[in-house]
């Protein structure tokens, strides 16, 4: 069986897969185990076409009888030489008048698509609007499962589905887009780029919530989408954009620092707090981040000042830290922040007590000249004791 290659429907070029962690995982495509799995191969198509009323299951496989609906699910199991006939049979079953038959066809469709996908995705999308609620729900659920495996096929009408006015349909469509974005970051970015330009705010809000899926792997397109979200007129969209900053800081610290810097003028309190928390995720050794922290420590917003003052000792040290803290303390109005800045600006070597200043004095070296050794107190005492003993000894001898 030839390998399925996902292609961009607009260019025909292969779509780069986001990761290879799932490989060819056909688990989401496999129906729940049942009699369909043990129907004799030569009886699958006749039974699915109703040429047989039932097919007996061998006792070794559980026994009993399989029905037409079981055979429809099993159509993907046929030998290669009968694949075209099986595909045609499944295609007819999807449009059957009986909703139970349509449900069986949708259940068996994913595995058939691995072998021959022609027109099946189109037929599945048509069933999204089925008059039977169960069929419609099964079609949406199946589309969500198979879209990450067949992204180019699922793009036939995905953009229209995402813009449907019906809330339930839109909820389903965005779940499909979420599933695609997890596996095929380029396909996800293409849709999000279009949706983020829409005038309808609900579309931009829903799209912005998916940006976290492409933050680390979306490349320059993903960075642009986050920047658009941070500049959106709707605070909910900006909030979703700000949620991406900590993850972006770990993947692309330079880009994250630029976006945080551009967002410091944010007026919405909720969004602003998210941006403040993102500062702690940045690379503190980056000169741009150091300037960002210093500027923020003098901002009018006390929350921003507090967050940045907490980081001053991380981005600055020594004389630089004391000078900047001293300058900021002279203009700080909040008593608590002023005390913290004064503590950072305090130089114990110059302004401390005598004991504190002495701690910075270097120890004196022991100096000996040729005529007289400078003795430590311990040596001097030892010498004095030995001299005293010698004097006492002479006195005893004289007596």
pLDDT (tens digit per residue) in 47-106: 999 999 998 888 877 778 999 999 999 999 999 999 999 999 999 999 999 999 999 999
Q: Is the pTM of this model over 0.85?
A: no
Burial group, residue 225, by CB count within 10 angstroms (0-12, 13-18, 19+): buried
pLDDT value of position 275 = 85
In a domain, residue 77? The reply is: yes
What pLDDT digit, counting tens, does each position of 214-272 carry?
A: 998 989 999 999 999 999 999 999 999 999 999 998 889 889 989 998 887 888 878 98
In a domain, residue 268? The reply is: no
Total number of domains constituting the chain = 1
In a domain, residue 209? The reply is: no
State the pairing for strand pair 55-56/65-66.
antiparallel
Q: How many CB atoms lie within 10 A of CB 265?
A: 9
In a domain, residue 172? The reply is: yes
pLDDT value of position 50 = 93
In a domain, residue 44? The reply is: yes
What pLDDT digit, counting tens, does each position of 279-324 carry?
A: 888 877 778 788 888 888 888 888 888 888 988 888 888 888 989 9
Mean pLDDT score across all residues of the chain: 82
Q: Structural domain of residue 161, as residue ranges?
A: 1-195
Distance of alpha carbon 240 from alpha carbon 210, whole angstroms: 9
In a domain, residue 107? The reply is: yes
Residue 334's alpha-carbon distances to 127, 221, 273, 328, 337, in angstroms, are 64, 42, 19, 11, 5
Pick the more confident residue, 63 or 46: 46
Q: Report the CATH number at residue 70.
A: 1.25.10
Q: Is the dihedral of CA 214, 220, 221, 222 positive or negative?
A: positive
User: Is pLDDT of 18 > 50?
Assistant: no
Radius of gyration of the chain (CA): 38
In a domain, residue 80? The reply is: yes
pLDDT value of position 265 = 80
């Amino acid at each position: 069986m030839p390998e399925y290659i996902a292609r961009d429907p607009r260019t025909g070029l292969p779509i780069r897969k986001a990761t290879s962690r799932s490989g060819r995982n056909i688990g989401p495509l496999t129906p729940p185990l049942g009699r369909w799995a043990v129907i004799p191969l030569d009886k699958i198509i006749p039974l699915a076409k109703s040429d047989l009323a039932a097919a007996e299951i061998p006792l070794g496989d559980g026994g009993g009888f399989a029905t037409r609906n079981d055979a429809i699910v099993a159509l993907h199991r046929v030998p290669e030489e009968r694949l075209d006939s099986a595909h045609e049979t499944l295609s007819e079953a999807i449009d059957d008048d009986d909703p139970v038959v349509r449900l069986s066809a949708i259940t068996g469709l994913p595995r058939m698509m691995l072998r021959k996908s022609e027109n099946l995705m189109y037929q599945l999308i048509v069933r999204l609007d089925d008059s039977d609620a169960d069929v419609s729900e099964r079609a949406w659920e199946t589309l969500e499962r198979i879209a990450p495996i067949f992204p180019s096929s699922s793009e036939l009408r995905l953009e229209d589905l995402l813009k449907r006015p019906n809330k339930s349909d839109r909820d389903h469509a965005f779940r499909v887009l979420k599933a695609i974005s997890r596996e095929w970051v380029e396909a996800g970015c293409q849709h999000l780029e279009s949706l983020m330009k829409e005038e309808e705010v609900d579309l931009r809000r829903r799209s912005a919530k998916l940006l976290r899926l492409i933050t680390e792997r979306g490349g320059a397109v993903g960075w642009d989408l986050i920047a658009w979200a941070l500049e959106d007129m709707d605070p909910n969209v900006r909030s979703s954009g700000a949620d991406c900053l900590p993850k972006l800081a770990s993947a692309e610290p330079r880009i994250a620092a630029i976006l945080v810097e551009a967002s410091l003028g944010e007026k919405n309190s909720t969004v602003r707090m998210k941006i403040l928390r993102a500062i702690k995720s940045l690379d503190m050794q980056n000169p741009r981040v150091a300037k960002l922290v210093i500027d923020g420590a003098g901002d009018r917003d006390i929350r921003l000042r507090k967050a940045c003052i907490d980081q001053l000792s991380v981005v600055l040290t020594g004389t630089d830290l004391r000078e900047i803290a001293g300058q900021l303390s002279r203009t700080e109005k909040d008593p608590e922040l002023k005390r913290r800045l004064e503590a950072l600006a305090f130089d114990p070597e110059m302004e401390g007590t005598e004991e504190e200043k002495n701690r910075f004095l270097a120890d004196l070296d022991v100096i000996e000249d040729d005529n007289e050794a400078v003795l430590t107190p311990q040596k001097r005492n030892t010498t004095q004791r030995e001299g005293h003993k010698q004097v006492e000894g002479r006195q005893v001898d004289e007596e």
